[in-house]
Amino acid sequence: MTGMAGCLSGLRVLDLSQWLPGPFAAQMLADLGASVLKIEPPAGDPARALGPGADSGLSLFYRQVNAGKVVLRLDLKQAEERALFLRLVVQADVLVESFRPGTLARLGLSPEVLRQANARLVHTALSGWGQDGPYAGRAGHDINYLAIGGGLSRSGDPERPRFAHPPVADYASALLAALVTLAGLLRRGTTGSGAFLDVSLMETVLAWQGQAQSLARRGLLERRGESLLSGGAACYNLYRTSDGGYVSLGAIEAKFWANFCRAMGRPDWTARQWEPLPQQGLIGALAAAFAARDRPHWQARLESIDCCFEAVLEPEELGRHPQVAARGLLVERDGLVEALFPAFLDGARPVPRAEVREVDSASALGAWSA
């Protein structure tokens, strides 16, 4: 293998997770060259039916987040199939799972049992709230983890918080899970011992809250939507155009703001950049200017100006954007559009993933024994 797909060649990953965070973490390991075997219950991952486009019983979402893997269905409630799973654990380097804490233990597959089967196993447990604490067994979804972790209270307008899409905690925790898994593998290379890694979605968001917490303790925290980076500044904001489109302006540095003001024919705005926040008057002036013409007009007028201006693209426009097209990370196959692993190694482009496919137990064991 070449490029990023050769980095983890020979590494064997068991993906025991469902829905989004765990499967996406395991998929990134597959993108880096690992062989990923996804274990699903007899009925399959519920994400198979999540959302539209369920061709041949598989939704577009499921196909996207599990591409590059092979799937084996096992009923871990049955002793014989648990024994088969443990045979796979013996051969694995990594296990990624996203059960509520204690679920595997109730199946007779506690971290201690897994470590006895394979002392070199890097076991990454991705949960909503963490492996202990009063919320450990509590249900939740992305919006709940953002709410408790601090990711919602600071996002949105002064009138109300607003959440982002795609789900932030889901994707961010998947990235963190992949990162700490690689760290566990590096440590194993030094010590020879595996690891149990406890990663939570809520704490992934919580880890970003240091600045807000520090400001809040000092009584310096601005209201939602009124700080520099949350909508309180004219130079860093979103504006609606006459055709209902939107544009983004990120002219924080003085030189970018000055360039923008000149291009708009409003040099008088230049000295107003750091008026007290929230800059309702200046924001209103920019909003009125942008609302007077359509988005294509502003793109033609400002895209060549060094002022951190970009149009807000709709999904159907992304693939046609010259930068996106030049980098080649969006790939369409049989009606499925995939976003490939977003990193290049020595100039080599990421390679498209193989379609997710199912195997039987004999095939799974045979492939991993080779």
CA nearest to 151, candidates 98, 212, 229: 212
Prior bond of 267 cis (ω within 30°):
no
Q: Report in angstroms the alpha-carbon separations of 285 from 159, 223, 244, 275.
A: 21, 22, 18, 13
CA nearest to 122, candidates 278, 237, 13: 13
Question: Both tokens of residue 319?
Answer: 């693939």
Q: How far apart are CA 183 and CA 295, in angstroms?
A: 45
Catalytic residue among 157, 170, 268, 346: 170
List alpha helices for 32-135, DSSP H: 60-66, 79-91, 103-106, 111-117
15 is annotated as an active-site residue: no
Name residues whose C-beta falls within 8 Å of residue 184's C-beta, 6 or more positions apart in sequence: 94, 122, 124, 194, 195, 197
DSSP H or E segment with residue 72: strand 70-73
- Exposure of 84 in the CB half-sphere (CA atoms within 13 A): 18
**157: number of Cβ within 10 Å:** 12
Q: Phi first, then psi: what are they for 102, rounded to 5°? A: 95, -15
Name residues whose C-beta falls within 8 Å of residue 105's C-beta, 6 or more positions apart in sequence: 111
Q: How far apart are CA 92 and CA 368, in angstroms?
A: 8
Question: Both tokens of residue 205?
Answer: 């968001």
Report the Cα 86 to chain-centroid distance in Å. 30
DSSP H or E segment with residue 30: helix 21-31
Please, are residues 130 and 202 in contact by the beta-carbon 8 Å criterion?
yes
DSSP character string of 259-291: HHHHHTT-GGGGGGTTPSSS-HHHHHHHHHHHH
Please, are residues 93 and 124 in contact by the beta-carbon 8 Å criterion?
no
Would you please indicate which residues are annotated as catalytic (active-site) residues?
170
